Each structure stands twice: as structure tokens, then as C-alpha cells.
Amino acid sequence: MNQFTVLVKKELIQLVREIKLVWFPLVFIFLGITQPVVSYYMPSILEMLGGGQGISIDPSMMAQSGGEVLASTLGSQFDQLGVMIIVISLMGIVQSDKASGMLAFILTRPVKVGSYLSGKVFSHYVFIAFSVAVGYIVSYIYTQFLFTGIPLEDLSIALLLYLLWVLFIVSFTTMISTIFNSQGVIALLSIAILLGCRVIVGLNPFLDTINPASMSTYGMELLVGGVLNSNVFWSILITLILSALAINISNTWISRKKYRID
Amino acid sequence: MKLHYGLDDLSEFDIVAFLPIILPIVAIGLILVLTALIDLYRHRERRENVLMWALIIIFANTIGSILYFVIGRKESGGR
Amino acid sequence: MLSISELEKSYPNKKVLNGVNLHIQKGEILGFVGGNGAGKTTTLNIITGILDCDKGAVSINGLTNKSGLEYKKQFFYIPDTIHVFNNVPGYDWILFLMSLFNIEDNEKLDEYIKVFDMEDSIKKSMGTYSYGMLHKMSLIAAFTINPPIIIMDEPINGLDPSAVVSFKEEIKKYVERGGTIFFSTHLLDVAEKICDTIAILKDGKIILHDKVKNIIGDSSLESIFMEAQIYERDTQPY
């Protein structure tokens, strides 16, 4: 076994021991179900609250297509609560090792900083991507059952685009967790910047191209309209570069021993 | 499609069609709550605010257990 | 084999190491003695790669502390505070450390587990271990990995008497196999019985590095040694 495999295995064992393997996918399944079910029953719920008179609902609201519903799963569930849960569950990814002295301890061993970091990012990313994908698929099953189906091609491309955005979220949070020492600061900063990226999508075409959060909206556009944005190639490239850059900065930061030692 | 319901129509709500949709949600919520409670019990000696978390998990069930998993699994006096 | 020359290190408000020179021969069992603030931990941190030094050089078997992975394969470090994952069994942790050194000798591992009387607890999670058990676990890992030099910080603390006996025996065997031991201690009798040589660090410099029998025989050297010991004992935080 080489170092990388050993470190990935160590992280995966941690995921099992912390029972994150159980709750994390369940949370995303829950988020995934919420959107189609709430969209479907919203008219009845509103009506119940409306009392004996009843309220009239614009029939066009019911005419939501499956694509629109699944797009709002990405846009309003995963991109809000989902991103927050990912960031908060990752805020200690490097920080807790720094605080406990584990990082210093590991670095007295024959371990490359790069293997340590890539082992962490790889194992957590694969696991989070898996959880997001499971939540997405369950959301699709509900959507298709309650609304309409979506072409398989659009469905899978939208998921892959979304997972690229998740890759950036994981690398970015890892970088912040490497640089800062307080979990609160890490969570707040990461959530503010990542949600900020998500909010500014659509303001300016150039910004959209270099904004990793656009991956999410490209996916949504594809689900709703069946059309892929023409800038998608450049955005994919830039998202990959930015993710690599974030990991690289963490690597340099640890190699230069800028982490705190108590 | 009829979109204008009155309160009387509530009884006509199709429970049979409703169940397969709502049951998985209930099941997932239940698994989350149980997992959280079992984890809390197993680590009761090392966790802070055990009683507070038990109440949060039970009364705010799904949201409570998600909260517990995300921020409640801090260990006190851990190495 | 371990060679430290002109090591200097300053923290923002104070200079800790002021030109440390220390050359350890292969097969030497060195006791590294110094009071709190003498720079003992800083020296260990620089040798093991936790800290960078301002000036000077460290090398083991000709590899400097800048040579990366190969340098770190030359030593096994057992710190005073051993960091573990509470939920992982000691056995898995040792296997993890062994794999980092590309060692796959499970028979040897089982043998050392017996020597240190850890058969029952090695499969339990490390969160349940006492301070002494963590040290025994690290010693098992160190002897199984069998690196050119083992570096230890206060290795006897928390060990039960039978473990101390095994520790002494295994150290002798390890040195006969060609190993070298570098350890910091504040216990005079242990240093006397185990070490061949003693180096005393004071005010960021090595003031004495000599064979134990020379120190014990010579009353003037002995007094320097005792002074350092007493100072050390009085300022231990626990």
C-alpha cells in the first residue's frame, strides 16, 4: 500500500467510526425528498391553512415540470442547507489536526504533506459526492413520481456539473481550515464566501465564467430548459484550476510550517 | 385538475396515495433521530450537554438530529 | 550518525538555541538532559521536522532535515504527548505507522506486543489507553519498525516496573542490532543504568557530552549533572 491509500483508508475508517457514513447521506436524501414533496403538497397545505373559504391557486403553479422541481432541489435545498452542512462538517478537516497536535505528529513521520492533504480531500470528496448523488437520485425518483420525468442525459450531466461545484466547496473549505485556527471563523468565512459566490451568479457573464458556483446554475438551466450554457467548458476548466489552487495553497501553508504549534 | 378545495374535502384526501410518499420521509427522520440518540447514549460520558442534546433531538426530531450530528459531536476532555 | 551543528532558533521574544553542537555515534544510547526553557523540546522539534531552525544543520546518516521523506524514515519519534484517534484500535494504528515506513512484519509486531504485555488491550480503541499504555504502544511500533535511530521524549514516564524492565532489555537488543537511541529524561537512575552517554543542554548550548562512567566517576562533572537533574525535577509541569 502506498502512503496515499493508507491515508485514504485512515480517513474512511474515521468516517465509519464517526457514523458520518450513516447520517450524512440520510441528510441529503431528506433534503432531496423535501423539495418535490413540498412543491406537490403546497397547494393542499396552503388550502388547509386558508380555512373554509379555500384559496384559489394559480393552476400554472401545478404545471411545474420535473426538471424545474429537481432544479429547485439543487438551487434551494442543496445550495443552501446542503452547502452549510458540507462546510460545517468539514470545518475541522485540517484545523482539528492542527489544534490537537496531530498534524505536527503526522509530519514527524515519513508522510508527504501532499499525500496527507490529497488523502483528506479525496476521501471526503468521494464520500460527500456520493451522498449528494444519492440525495439527487432520490429527489429525482420523487420528482418523476409526482411530476414528470427528465431525460437521462440531462439528469446525469446536471449531476456531474453540480459535483464539480461540490469539489470546489471541499477544496476551498480545506484551504480555509488550513489557514485559520478557529472553527467558528472557518465555518463563517467559508459559508459566507461560498454562498456569496452562489448569490452573485447571473450578475455578470464574465464573473459567471470564473465563478465555480455557476456549475450549479448551469446544471439547473440544463434541467429546466434542456440547454447547456456555451461557457460551460471554460467554467469547468476554471473550477478545476481553482480547486487545485486551493489545495496547493494549503500544501504550501503546511510545508512552510505556518500552522500554529501550541 | 381541481385546485379549489374546501375544508370538507380534507376527509377525501387520498391516504393510500399519500402513504408511499410520506412513509420514506418518516422512516428517514426516524432513523436519523434513533442514530443520533444511540450515538449520544454510547458517548454520554465524553459529550458535553448530553441532556440538552437529547431534548433537542427528541423535540426538534429531524432538524434536531441533523444539528446534533453537525455540531453536537464535540467531545469534552478528548485527547 | 545523528549530527547537529551550530543550531540556532529564536522565538519572537527570546533566543532558545544558541549554537547547539551534538554528534551521536551509531550504537550510542544518549540521555539528553536539560531544564525547562533550556531548549530541549525545541531541539527535538527541529530534529523531527516539526520546526525549522534559523541557522545550522541537522543530519542523520548523511541525510539532512531538508531531504524530506528519506530523512524521516531514518528515525521513529515517540513524543511526550502521543496523539491518537480515540476510536481506532492500537493495533490498526501501529499497522498504519508501519505502512508509512514500508514495513510489513506482522510476526515481529505480535512478538513485541507479547514482550510489552499488551495482548489484551492492543485491539481496544486508543481512547481507553492510559498514558503508560500509549507509550508502550509507541515502543512496540518503534521496535517493529526498527529504524536507524529512535528518538524519545521522557520514555519512562507512566511505564509500570515490568514494562521498564522490558524497555531496558529491548533497548539493549535494538542497539546490538545496530540501532541508536536518543532520549531526553530527568531520571538519574534510569540515565545511569541505560545510557552510555549523557548530553546536558543549558541556556541553548550543550555544556557537556560524555560517557556516563566518566561523569559518575568525576565529582565536578557529577555536580553539573546533578544540578541539571534537580533543576529539571523541580520545574516539571506534572
Confidence bin at C237 (pLDDT 50/70/90): very low
ipTM of the complex: 0.80
Give me the mean pLDDT over the C54-78 stretch: 89
Domain range holding A107?
3-255
pLDDT at residue number C11: 83
Q: In Å, how far are A66, A158, A217 from A151, measured between CA atoms?
A: 10, 11, 18
Q: How confident is the model at residue B36 (pLDDT cuts 50, 70, 90)?
A: very high
Q: Residue B6 above 70 pLDDT?
A: no
Average pLDDT over residues A46-67: 64
Q: How many residues are there in chain A?
A: 262
A13 — contact with chain C (CB < 8 Å)? yes
Q: Which of residues C211 and C144 earns the better pLDDT score? A: C144
Q: C86 forms bridges with which residues in the sheet?
A: none
- Distance from the C67 Cα atom to the nearest Cα atom in chain A, whole angstroms: 11
C2-57 pLDDT, tens digit per residue, is: 999 888 888 888 888 888 899 999 999 998 887 766 788 889 889 998 888 888 88
pLDDT score, position B31: 92
Of B1, B7, B32, the CB nearest to A51: B7
Using an 8 Å Cβ cutoff, are A162 and A75 in contact?
A: no
With beta carbons less than 8 A apart as the criterion, state whether A212 and A202 touch. no
Q: Report the pLDDT averaged over residues C148-171.
A: 85
**Measured CA angle at A62 (ends A60, A63), to 5 deg:** 60
Which pLDDT score is estimated for A232?
Answer: 93
Radius of gyration of chain B measured on its C-alpha atoms: 19
Is the pLDDT at A233 greater than 80? The verdict is: yes
With cut-offs at 50, 70 and 90, classify the pLDDT of residue B15.
low
pLDDT recorded at residue C64? 86
Q: CA quadruple C119, C122, C127, C131: dihedral positive or negative?
A: positive
* Cα Rg of chain C, angstroms: 18
Between 3.40.50.1820, 3.40.50.300, 3.50.50.60, 3.30.70.20, what CATH number should domain C1-74+152-238 receive? 3.40.50.300
B79 touches chain C (CB under 8 A): yes
**Contact between C21 and C72 (Cβ < 8 Å):** no
State the pLDDT at residue C188.
61
Q: Which residues contact C138 (CB under 8 A, 6 or more apart)?
A: C78, C82
Q: What is the mean pLDDT of residues A53-70?
A: 70
**The predicted structure's pLDDT at residue B77:** 39
Task: Say whether pLDDT at C158 is over 80.
Answer: no
| Residue at A28 is within a domain | yes
Using the predicted structure, report yes or no on whether residue B79 has a pLDDT greater than 50: no
The answer to whether the beta carbons of residues A122 and A38 sit under 8 Å apart is no
A29 touches chain B (CB under 8 A): yes
Digit-coded pLDDT (tens) for A120-130: 999 999 999 99
Question: What CA–CA distance (Å, rounded) separates C45 from C165?
Answer: 28
C235: pLDDT strictly greater than 90: no
pLDDT at C192: 73
Mean pLDDT of chain A: 89
> Would you call A37 and B25 a contact, using CB atoms and an 8 Å cutoff?
yes
Please give the pLDDT value at position C238: 42
Name residue, grid cell 467554467: A235
Cell of C238: 506534572
- CA of C104 to nearest chain B CA: how many angstroms apart? 28
- In this prediction, residue A260 has a pLDDT band, given cuts at 50, 70 and 90, of low
The answer to whether residue A101 is domain-embedded is: yes
Cβ count within 10 A of residue C33: 27
In a domain, A163, yes or no: yes
Mean of the per-residue pLDDT values for chain C?
A: 84
- A neighbours by CB contacts (3+ pairs under 8 Å): B, C
A100/C191 Cα distance (integer angstroms): 31
Q: Tell me whether residues B79 and A100 touch, CB distance under 8 A.
A: yes
Q: What is the grid cell recorded at A98? A: 492542527
pLDDT, tens only, C71-121: 999 999 998 888 777 777 899 889 988 988 988 888 999 999 999 989 999
Would you give the distance in Å from CA A205 to the centre of its chain? 23
- Contacts of B9-16 with C-beta under 8 Å, sequence gap 24+, read B10/A48, B13/A44
Q: Which residues of A fall within a CB distance of 8 Å from B22?
A: 37
Tell whether C130 lies on the interface with B, counting CB pairs under 8 A.
no
Report the range out of A238-247, B23-32, C26-35 with the highest average pLDDT. Answer: A238-247
Which member of C69, C81, C83 has the closest CB to residue A110?
Answer: C69
The residue among A44, A59, A39 whose CA lies nearest residue B6 is: A44
Q: What is the model's pLDDT at position B18?
A: 74
Summary mean pLDDT of chain B: 77
DSSP for A73-85 reads IIIIIIIIIIHHH
Nearest Cα residue in chain B from A85: B70
Residues A178-215: pLDDT tens digits? 999 999 999 999 999 999 999 999 898 899 999 999 99
Spans of all domains in chain C: 1-74+152-238, 84-146
DSSP letter at B49 equals S
Chain B positions contacting chain A at CB under 8 Å are 1, 3-7, 10, 13, 21-22, 24-25, 28-29, 31-32, 35-36, 39, 62, 65-66, 69-71, 73, 79
Element (H, E) at C203: none
Using a CB-CB cut-off of 8 Å, the residues of chain B touching A23 are 32, 35-36, 65-66, 69
Q: What's the domain count of chain A?
A: 1
pLDDT of residue A52: 52
> Which amino acid is residue B72, in one-letter code?
G
Q: Dig out the grid coordinates for C236 from the structure.
A: 516539571
Say whether C223 sits in a helix, a strand or coil.
Answer: helix
Q: Which residues pair with C59 in a beta bridge?
A: C3, C64
Range with lowest mean pLDDT among A9-23, A224-238, C203-217: C203-217
- CB atoms inside a 10 Å sphere around CB A19: 16
Does residue A99 form part of some domain? yes
Q: Residue C189 — pLDDT band, cuts 50, 70, 90?
A: low
